[in-house]
């Protein structure tokens, strides 16, 4: 028996086995059965008991497997396995995004020249550079004085105006998310540890693939930085979520539905119900008085 399992199913059709046995044989079989389900690991006392118990034993094992599938431990294992599978799919997606980043940042070069400690020039493979850039925290990256390079970990990378806009937009939203969380006295560690890949790639895809305009992104930023956008402040905490929800944010901003999440409708509904109940009680009391008046008059 498994841990925490103290019940077994006894099947009615087992009677056929017992009816074929003498009473002493049936007694030995039932004793062997109970020793087995109590984890005493018994040895069959004779060949008859051993043969008759084979089918019973196999049935008990099948029932045990079914029970374990529904056990909290098995369910938790399945949940963990599901999370692992989801994480694997996420990593695969991120790899595809990295390949897309690679083609957009440097579509033709297999190696790039970077600066180390400002003066030493070396050749670093494109993959190595992208790995370093993607894993770098936003807070560790800055735009060079001449605005043509991203500088990080003693390295510098030449960027286009478009990529510079992507990076600056990601940094703006990172700071906004941190500010909104601090206002609610909530932890900000995830946002502070945001990497280039996790925060800049969704911005790039939002502009390039989703055809979101810079003006629309600006509107979303201003809305998430306003009192009207209070509902979304606790729901938009990364640029990937921003990309997913920006259409809904803009619709709500531009249709003036910022108050749709307040409790006013619920209060009105409760008030209306209370008024209806009071009206019914008043009407019932009035009818009762009218009936009493007629009866006394008669």
Q: What is the largest CA-CA distance in the chain?
A: 116
**64 against 75, higher pLDDT:** 64
C-alpha to C-alpha distance for 211 and 247, rounded to whole angstroms: 11
**83 against 211, higher pLDDT:** 211
Span 89-129, pLDDT tens digits:
666 666 666 666 666 655 544 444 444 333 333 445 667 87
At 68 the pLDDT is 67
Average pLDDT for the chain: 78
Mean pLDDT value of segment 175-197: 92
At 132 the pLDDT is 87
C-alpha to C-alpha distance for 228 and 36, rounded to whole angstroms: 68
Return the SS3 of 112.
Answer: strand
At 125 the pLDDT is 67
Span 143-173, pLDDT tens digits:
888 777 888 888 877 888 899 899 999 999 9
Span 242-262, pLDDT tens digits:
999 999 999 988 887 544 444
Please, which pLDDT band fits residue 288 given cuts at 50, 70 and 90? confident
The H or E element containing residue 156 is strand 155-158
Mean pLDDT value of segment 66-89: 63
C-alpha to C-alpha distance for 194 and 239, rounded to whole angstroms: 10
Residues present in the chain in total: 298
Strands 111-116 and 120-125: antiparallel
**42 against 127, higher pLDDT:** 42
Residue 17 has pLDDT above 80, yes or no: yes
pTM of the complete model = 0.47
């Amino acid at each position: 028996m498994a841990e925490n399992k103290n019940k077994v199913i006894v099947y009615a059709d087992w009677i056929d086995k017992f009816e074929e046995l003498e009473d002493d044989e049936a007694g030995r079989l039932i004793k062997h059965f109970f020793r087995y389900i109590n984890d005493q690991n018994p040895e069959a006392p004779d060949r008859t008991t051993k043969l008759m118990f084979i089918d019973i034993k196999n049935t008990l094992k099948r029932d045990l497997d079914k029970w374990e599938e529904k056990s909290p431990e098995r369910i938790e294992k399945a949940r963990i396995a599901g999370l692992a599978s989801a994480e694997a799919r996420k990593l695969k997606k991120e790899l595809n995004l990295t390949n897309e980043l690679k083609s957009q940042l440097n579509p033709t070069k297999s190696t790039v020249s970077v600066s180390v400690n400002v003066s030493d020039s070396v050749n670093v493979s494109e993959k190595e550079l992208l790995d370093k850039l993607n894993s770098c925290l936003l807070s560790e990256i800055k735009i060079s004085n001449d605005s043509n390079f991203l500088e990080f970990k003693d390295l510098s990378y030449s960027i286009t105006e478009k990529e510079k806009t992507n990076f600056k937009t990601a940094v703006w939203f990172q700071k906004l998310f941190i500010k909104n969380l601090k206002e609610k006295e909530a932890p900000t560690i995830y946002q502070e540890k945001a990497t280039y890949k996790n925060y800049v790639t969704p911005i790039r895809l939002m502009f390039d693939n989703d055809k979101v305009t810079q003006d629309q992104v600006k509107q979303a930023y201003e809305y998430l930085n306003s009192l009207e956008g209070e509902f979304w402040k606790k729901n938009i905490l990364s640029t990937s979520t921003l990309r997913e929800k920006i259409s809904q944010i803009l619709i709500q901003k531009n249709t003036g539905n910022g108050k749709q999440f307040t409790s006013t409708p619920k209060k009105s509904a409760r008030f209306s119900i209370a008024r209806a109940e009071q009206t019914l009680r008043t009407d019932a009391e009035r009818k009762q008085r009218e009936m009493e008046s007629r009866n006394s008059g008669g």
